[in-house]
Amino acid sequence: MVIPVHDENGIARPGFRAWVVWSLVAANVAVFALLALLSTPAALVIGYNFGVVPAVLLGAPEGSALGLTIWPAVSLVTYSFLHASWLHLTANMIVLWVLGDDIEAATGHIRFVVLYFLCGAAGAIAQALSDTQSLAPIIGASGSVAGVAGAYLLLRPHARMTVLVLGLLTVRLRAYWVIAFWIAWQVFNIWWPISETRTAYWTHVGGFAAGLSLILVMRRRGVPLFA
């Protein structure tokens, strides 16, 4: 696992208040903590109702048998607040914290909210299309965070990052090396999976592609690319 834990000052100058990033991190942690207090059956009910179930989202016959009450389109937002484990949550929130402030500064607060959730929706749809009859709920902020990483790649590819590698050591690398390695790893695991895993790699790729596209039209006037 490769996780950026710090980047040099960039678009978000000292004193910039990334209210949206901070609020999203707080909300995700709060939801995880609250769900941890529930019984396993209750948590599963929430996971199915507020996660994205591909067969339900795409209207497959298998999905109707679940009898879920939430409107499927709403789950494209709510699924991003659910996480399978503390590690899943922590990794997503660290990346959002480190990269998100620059993207929020580049787009403005409101447009960052839109970008974040559109990337999450794109990631969930990509994953659903890869397995249209699946009844396993897609959960996590990974699609949204991948979109933030995609936007960051276009805005600040040359920024220096401190990266935690395998939880053991830190190295300093340019952002384009870190993000390019990460997305290449996602694509590799889609086509040549090295182990059985429940990781939703298409969610990462779909969110990343959305972030690349959306930042082109959602960044503020005067914010350059490839800085």
Q: 203 lies in which domain range?
A: 2-218
Is there a contact between 185 and 175 (Cβ–Cβ < 8 Å)? no
Number of domains in the chain: 1
pTM of the model: 0.93
CA atoms within 13 A on the CB side of 44: 6
In a domain, 90, yes or no: yes
Give the per-residue pLDDT at 98.
Answer: 96
Is there a contact between 39 and 45 (Cβ–Cβ < 8 Å)? no
Is there a contact between 108 and 50 (Cβ–Cβ < 8 Å)? no
Give the per-residue pLDDT at 68.
Answer: 67
In a domain, 96, yes or no: yes
Is there a contact between 53 and 68 (Cβ–Cβ < 8 Å)? yes
Give the per-residue pLDDT at 125.
Answer: 98
In a domain, 146, yes or no: yes
* Gap between the Cα atoms of 48 and 99, Å rounded: 30
CATH of the domain at 75: 1.20.1540.10
Give the per-residue pLDDT at 192.
Answer: 81
* Gap between the Cα atoms of 146 and 140, Å rounded: 11
**Computed from CA positions of residues 66, 69, 74, 77, in that sequence, does the dihedral angle turn out positive or negative?**
negative
In a domain, 29, yes or no: yes
In a domain, 136, yes or no: yes
Give the per-residue pLDDT at 8.
Answer: 85
Give the per-residue pLDDT at 62.
Answer: 64
- Centre a 10 Å sphere on the Cβ of residue 168 and count the other Cβ atoms it contains: 6
Q: Strand pairing partners for 164?
A: 3, 170
Per-residue pLDDT tens listing for the chain (227 residues): 788 999 987 777 777 899 999 999 999 999 999 999 998 889 898 999 999 999 999 987 666 656 666 788 999 999 999 999 999 999 999 999 999 999 999 999 999 999 999 999 999 999 999 999 999 999 999 999 999 999 999 999 999 999 998 778 899 999 999 999 999 999 999 988 776 667 889 999 999 999 999 999 999 999 999 98
Give the per-residue pLDDT at 119.
Answer: 99
Is there a contact between 78 and 23 (Cβ–Cβ < 8 Å)? no
Amino acid at 21: V
H/E stretch holding 11: none
In a domain, 225, yes or no: no
* Gap between the Cα atoms of 175 and 159, Å rounded: 5
For 49-87, b where at least 16 C-beta lie within 10 A, e where not — what string? bbbbbbbbbbebeebeeeebeeebeebbbbbbbbbeeee
Helix (H, G, I), strand (E, B) or coil at 199: coil
In a domain, 223, yes or no: no
Give the per-residue pLDDT at 181.
Answer: 94
In a domain, 226, yes or no: no
